[in-house]
Structure 1
Amino acid sequence: MEFFKNHIWQILIVLNYTVALSAVLTILLKKVNPTKALSYIIGLLALPFLGLLIYYLFGQEYRKNKIFSRKQVLNQSTIKRIQNELELDAKEINVVDDLLDQKSKVIPLLYNNEKSKLTINNDIKLIKNGDEKFKLLFKDIEDAEHHIHLEYFIIKDDKIGTELLNLLCKKASEGLEIRIAIDDVGSSITSKMKRKLKDCGIEMYPFMPVRFSNSTGKMNYRDHRKIVVIDGKIGYVGGVNVSDAYVNANNDRYWRDTHVRIVGEAVKQLQILFFTTWDFVSGDELKISKAYFPEHNCKENIPLQIAASGPDTDWSNIMEAIFVAITNADDHVYITTPYFIPNSEIVTALQVLARSNKEVKIIVPKTSDSWIAEYATNSYLEMLLEAGVEVYQYTKGFIHAKTMVVDGVFCTVGTTNMDYRSFNINFEVNALIYNKNISSELTEFFNDDLKHCEKLQLKSWQARSKRTKLIEAVARLMAPIL
């Protein structure tokens, strides 16, 4: 015992590196992304104890373990029938091909990756900021007749959240089925409100509850989606969570975001996606009936695909769709993202496009809501500027929109940031819209945001202090695990 007391730190260090080396061997054998693997290995070897804690909390590969099974939902006869009904004939596909030219390569990619069907009969409304979204959403909820499904990364029972949850209680009292899936890390709802929701007959489950006794990698893989499906006819998706910050209620910082309201065939895809999450969080073997997929009366014809990715998919579907869209651009690409911490494929695609004399513009926040994400983002900007990419920093407040427009014919709005976490770790969802009018409107959003931006100049950006560049380099090293 005296020996252990006198050599406790040496013993702990030996134990630390014994476990750390075992973890390093596991990382190497799993063939993890080299950049991510190197980040973990450096952390394990250079940061005694802390490196092990980070790897314990964030390092497990649930995608490989396949614990997120969707077979219970996708094998149900109703879902199979709906999927078959969404198949387009050759004539309809040719119409989209003629409109998009090379951009139509995204369509078969998503179908082959994830059986994501292209739908034609859709009506789309782009939504700027949370206050506009909640006005529309509350009206749609008031008019709901059968069911309301919500899946959110963040729901807080602050002012706007309480208003939403109280409205849902009201609709539950009218006999509607209401289901809510919330991320356990992102959301914050009081016990009092949870009891009220339960007493109202609302079913709500957290996504991968985090408790330190059994959390392990659960803190890493989060449900970052924002989905609402109302009566199987109306769907919402985009960047706006349920919190006062998103409706600029706090008046301390302007919050700029983009969302989309969908009516038509694509809502069926959102519904199926919600059911896959619901099956996982609830553990219930819910019998999915045709009542959740009613006929719609949409007369508009806006082609749309719902792209989903996460640990339950074999491929990084949304990242690959973005990559294909960028590499096939003929004129311009406009990107808005709150976090720009991309993989090398996206960086190279943007650099090559800009050096090919195509117009590439990116908007990022000047001041982020995360200092480490801000420094990591800034570490990538110089190489973009050197290639001719135009980089703008949003100064009016915090820009949280996740959008891209390509050549004025294709655009995407969703939950996916241009970062490693969204591409490979979190559950995400984007609406991919193949339409000139919607793309033009989203371009107007982009140009309006440019009025509140500072354009970066290469020489002045290169003049940043060595201290700043060092912090950026360290933050970038941590980027794969942010």
Structure 2
Amino acid sequence: MDKIYHILTLVSIGLYWLLVATVTFRVVFKKRAVSVSLAWLMIIYILPVLGVFCYFLFGELNLGRRRAERAKQMLTSFTDWFTQLNHCQAHITETMGAHIYKIDQLCNHRMGIPALSGNQLSLQYSPQQILQSIIRDIEQARYSIRMVFYIWHPGGLADSVASSLIKAANRGVNVKLLLDSAGSNKFMKSHWYTLMVNSGVHVVQALEVRPWRIFLRRLDLRQHRKIIVIDDSVAYTGSMNMVDPEYFKRDSGVGQWIDIMVRIVGPTVNVLAAIHSWDWEFETGERELPLVPLCNPEDELPKHPIQVVPSGPGMPENMISQALILAIHQANHSIRITTPYFVPSADLLSALKTAAQRGIHIDLIIPQKNDSLMVKWASRSFYGDLLDAGVAIYEFYGGLLHTKSVVIDEQFCLVGTVNLDMRSLWLNFEVTLAVDDIEFTQQLYELQQKYIQQAIKIDYQSWQMRPIYNRALERMYYLFNPLL
């Protein structure tokens, strides 16, 4: 009997060694950042069984066979659609500032998307203002409403938005609502889902979570965009999910979520409509690209261009990350960043440190309290390097600062759905606007200044004196960067 146990033990050890060796080779030979590969190897060896299991779940971008094939077929058609915009009068390279010119080149060469002029922008940062504005535009809708959100949480004015969509569908408006399956799980189980479907609203779950398929498709891949397009003439995007903050996660201990949205009128609306069409086809297989806009901006409209920068599986890799790093490298005197989750890639961390070390004034504003314990401690593991390089770090205490924004030189800005963590930059479906509009950028900069007034600046000397157990937690959670 002892001999059988001995043989079984040896076989188990051999099989486990073979499994770890196979996963190790797979990690090493995947084309990705060295820091990510090393982090995964540490997780696999420090947490032997759990580490291998986590790698199979989260280690590789696996869309599933059907979605992967569909995305590959879609790319050419959508690139052709975007490329047509290069020939319209709204693509005016002569008026582009230095900051956006290279981002236009990047997005144009990689996916055919040009920066377009002739847009009117409205920065909205009050939840009541945002939701009431959306309701008014929905009430004016004549033929189509396209929406995609990560979270739709019932309660408060979010219910008023749902009611306005139902009324729009009842009067014949074609309403397409795409919601992330995990983020909007509570909505899918509410009576609002049934009411919408019964009224003719087309509600689709994006990336539906099915536990029995955990090894066939990556479960933590999420649809994180927030886009509304009404009649292909008015659009919204930004950081805010379809929630009323007074009714959302009030018991989480982080305070009210602080967000912004941008209301857009002009040629850029059609680009956002096309991004929604991409997401809709990716999930359903149904194609309905918007009409190519006339792109003949009136003389009195501002000529400052907007570049839509999307990213996500099936699209060219890392476009938002590349656009962000391009913008950082082009800064001449200042960079100000707000993000709820800060777990930067090695490239982004290096870009920030290099900018600070060449004398660029950098403000990083992140929430003091976070709804993710792992992210909180992983974020703090980067404080020392950034403070040492000269970056000013502020912790916002007025709630969970969920605004995702970057202002460069007080003249140019990036605003959208993307967090400064590897999940947003490398994995999820995201969208960012690069805006070459000084007036809009100044408004955003002033809003960031208000955030700073409700924040505590981290003192480098005090930070160096933090307790040893804090340092241990920071280093421990740093190991889990690939999962954050």
- TM-score, structure 2 normalization: 0.91
Q: 1 CA distance for matches of 2:283 and 2:160?
A: 24
Alignment-mate amino acid for residue 373 of structure 2: W
Please name the residue that 1:136 is paired with: 133
Alignment of 1:105-144 (within 5 A): 105-144=102-141
Shift of 1:131: 2.4
Distance (whole Å) between structure 2 residues aligned to residue 271 and residue 106 of structure 1: 20
CA RMSD of aligned residues (A): 2.8
Decide whether the 8 Å contact of 1:122 with 1:265 is kept in 2: yes
Q: How does 1:197-216 map to 2 (within 5 A)?
A: 197-216=196-215
Indicate whether 1:437 and 2:439 are aligned: yes
Distance 1:200 1:265, change over 3 A: same
Distance in structure 2 (CA, Å) of the matches to 1:226 and 1:119: 20
- The total of aligned residue pairs comes to 476
Give the direction of change, closer, same or farther, for the CA distance of 1:152–1:91 in structure 2 (3 Å limit).
Answer: closer
Check conservation: 1:122, 1:303, Cα contact below 8 A.
Answer: yes
Return the offset for 1:385: 0.7
- What pairs with 1:51-130 in structure 2 (closer than 5 Å)? 51-62=51-62, 67=68, 69-70=70-71, 80=80, 83-87=83-87, 92-96=92-96, 100-130=97-127
- SS at the partner of 1:62? coil
Partner SS state of residue 41, structure 2: helix
Letter matched to residue 358 of structure 1: I
Deviation at 1:160, TM superposition (A): 3.6
Task: Report the Cα distance in structure 2 between the residues aligned to 1:16 and 1:166, rounded to whole angstroms.
Answer: 55
Instruction: Please say if residues 120 and 303 of structure 1, whose CA atoms lie closer than 8 Å, have aligned partners that are also in contact.
Output: yes
Structural mapping, 1:312-323, within 5 Å: 312-323=314-325
C-alpha distance in 2 between matches for 1:159 and 1:479 = 35
Distance 2:306 2:159 in 1: 33
Q: Distance in 2 between matches of 1:3 and 1:191?
A: 59
SS at match of 1:383: helix
SS at match of 2:153: coil
Whether 1:185 and 2:182 are equivalent positions in the alignment is yes
CA shift in 2, pair 1:245/1:50, >3 Å: farther
Aligned position for 1:392: 394
Deviation at 1:39, TM superposition (A): 2.1
Amino acid at match of 2:171: E
- What is residue 237 of structure 2 aligned with on the other side? 237
Task: Tell me which moved more, 419-428 or 64-73.
Answer: 64-73
Contact 1:233 1:296 in 2 (8 A): no
Partner of 1:43: 43
Look up the SS of the partner of 1:109 in the other structure: helix
1:427-466 pair list within 5 angstroms: 427-466=429-468
**Displacement of 1:197:** 2.0
Map 1:157-176 onto structure 2 (within 5 A).
157-176=154-173
User: What letter corresponds to residue 212 of structure 1 in structure 2?
Assistant: P
Task: Quote the Cα distance in structure 1 between the aligned partners of 2:351 and 2:61.
Answer: 27
Are residues 177 and 297 of structure 1, via their aligned partners in 2, closer, same or farther at CA, if it must alter by over 3 Å?
Answer: farther
Residue correspondence of structure 1 range 364-443 to structure 2 within 5 A: 364-443=366-445
Q: Where do 5+ consecutive residues of structure 2 fail to align?
A: none
- Tell me, yes or no, if the aligned pair for 2:339 and 2:419 is still in contact at 8 Å: yes
State the shift of 1:387 in Å.
Answer: 0.9
The residue type paired with residue 204 of structure 1 is: V
Helix, strand or coil at the partner of 1:361: strand
Q: Which runs of 4+ in 1 moved over 6 A?
A: 1-10, 63-66, 246-249, 294-298
Assess, with a 3 A threshold, how the Cα gap between structure 1 residues 165 and 91 changes in structure 2: closer, same or farther: closer
Identity %: 26
Partner of 2:222: 222
